[in-house]
Chains A and B, each alone.
Chain A
């Protein structure tokens, strides 16, 4: 296998684990997922600092047809984009609790005709919609650039999404 292409491993239908060897591979995996995202999809990203959430989110945005996107919403809290579909890119890193996410109008976003991407979703677990794609990124021990990326679908809309990705292997 040539360097840079991710190795995929699928377990049942709702979970996919990918070993990404580099930041570029993480971005292109994000792009693969992003191309299949449609209105109503919700992507929850989590993982420690430097795990590759920015790379993955930049890939998602590129796959959604957003040009020049991917600046971190950590301090801004939310970026709004027009890609193939409207996209909201949020970040819960600086929030002290779920109520602060409600203050930026999170509930309205969930029913908006748009794709929502939320980084640091583990800080606001109580507010996540039941139907969602969970993406967990973690560094691989002993590798500087290697990342284990787990995609988990909760709810049928996102299980279909994962199944479609799996077919693309």
Chain B
């Protein structure tokens, strides 16, 4: 990896002015070309030397997706390069293939958990381009539960790191918050846990420590995530597990996953925290592996509800043949 830049990075703020709301497609439009220039300058390679240009095809907000897709297509056309649409969630998974202290030796098949503010998806990753969504959240994503619990506790944003910091001084066994195992299926539910925290705070008076609430909430959350991940891997007979997405940076989750993996005799991989959140390096990595399989061209359109497995579904670039082979991930 030579260069990876994020428009919302602190260093870019001075140059482009203020915080970038990821929902604002107009801001995307203003930022995308300067950002591409900057990343090429840092890498020291001209655009014409690239093997391909990749963009996020979905799932996501259609306005923002279109900015990326249109830019990628225009640049690819101008430079005679292949252009690839990559699934946002599949890209997250490719953090496992990027350099890191705890990703060395990662190999497929594996069961991976994508856990962020918007997603909690358990994926059986059989091979490049072959993915199956085993389970996902039915209501709130785990990262959303962290964020909303932070709000309930009067902590700042982003909520995940704030809850984790406060939880370090708390007792994770202080309050028995509910664990939603949902009849032992592979789906998740975190809305009830958030409500349990709200109810606890409303009814318990001042006789508790906020740090205990944070630690107990976090424990309830990571236990369910880690237990379901390990159990799914054992059931599918794979040798390894991994976690990616913003919440994968949580050290208590990493420890819980590592401990349970060791007990189950599984290898556990943890991408670098910076590569767990939204970034372009994972999109490039996913595209690189697709090129490797001689998949040089995809139908370069976007789909706000793009199911995992479709864009990486090779030999089928007919946009009319959008099937139901995989569960919709949106």
Contact = CB atoms under 8 A, between A and B. Distances in A.
Contacts of B197: 50
Interface in B33-73: 59-63
B21 A103 contact: yes
B194 A74 contact: no
A50 B117 contact: no
A75 B140 CA distance: 9
A72 interface: yes
Contacts of B21: 96, 100, 103
B117 A105 contact: no
Interface in A59-91: 68, 70-72, 74-80
Contacts of B63: 103-105
Interface string B186-199: 00000110111111
A4 interface: no
B305 A80 contact: yes
Interface residues of A, number: 27
A52 B191 CA distance: 9
Given A71-B137, A77-B61, A100-B23, A50 B195 contact: yes
Nearest to B141: A75
B144 A75 contact: yes
A75 B117 contact: yes
B140 A74 contact: yes
Contacts of A68: 328
A51 B194 CA distance: 10
A75 B143 contact: yes
B173 interface: no
A49 B217 CA distance: 15
Contact of A76 (B26, B118, B203): B118
B202 interface: yes
Contacts of B24: 100, 103
A34 interface: no
B128 interface: no
A77 B199 CA distance: 25
Nearest to A105: B63
Contacts of B138: 70-71
Contacts of A78: 61
B139 interface: yes
The winner among B63, B144, B198 for most chain A CB atoms within 10 A is B144
A68 B305 CA distance: 14
A127 to B, nearest CB: 14
Contact of B23 (A49, A58, A77, A80): A77
A50 B139 contact: no
Contacts of B141: 71-72, 75
B304 A72 contact: no
A49 B305 contact: no
A48 interface: yes
A49 B140 contact: no
Contact of A49 (B62, B118, B198, B304): B198
Interface of B: 21, 23-26, 59-63, 116-118, 136-141, 143-144, 147-148, 151-152, 191-192, 194-199, 202-203, 304-305, 328, 330
25 contacts: A49-B148, A49-B194, A49-B195, A50-B197, A50-B199, A52-B195, A54-B140, A54-B191, A55-B191, A70-B139, A71-B137, A71-B138, A71-B139, A71-B141, A72-B141, A72-B144, A72-B191, A76-B59, A80-B305, A100-B23, A103-B24, A103-B26, A104-B63, A139-B202, A144-B199
A-B complex: 10 closest residue pairs judged by Cβ atoms: A50-B198, A75-B118, A50-B195, A75-B117, A72-B140, A103-B24, A54-B191, A76-B118, A54-B139, A144-B199
Given A49-B151, A71-B138, A139-B202, 5 more contacts: A23-B192, A54-B139, A74-B148, A79-B330, A103-B26
